[in-house]
Amino acid sequence: MVNKEKKETEKHYKSFLRLVKEQTQSESEWNEASSKVKSISSQIDLLDVIIKAQNFEFVAELEKLTAVHIEAE
């Protein structure tokens, strides 16, 4: 009887630990995704400021970046 109770308790705690592990992993994945979103958002904000700056020629800059990219290949 005691052995059966011990196994049930062990099974219960293993299930509980598995749930905690899954929740922790899910939170970690959420935090990582959130961090990436914040980074991309900051980059978009910076690009917006650059594009709105005086004397910024979007087409000319795009051509420069394209040329650099082609050379890198």
Domain assignments of the chain as residue spans, ordered by start: 2-72
User: 21-38 burial by CB neighbour count: b if 16+ within 10 A, else e?
Assistant: eeeeeeeeeeeeeeeeee
Q: What is the mean pLDDT of residues 39-49?
A: 93
Per-residue pLDDT tens digits for 5-40: 888 999 999 999 999 999 999 999 999 999 999 999
Q: What percent of the chain has pLDDT over 70?
A: 99
Whether residue 50 contacts residue 56, with contact meaning beta carbons closer than 8 Å, is answered with yes
pLDDT, position 14: 94
Mean pLDDT on 44-60: 86
pLDDT at 54 (0 to 100):
80
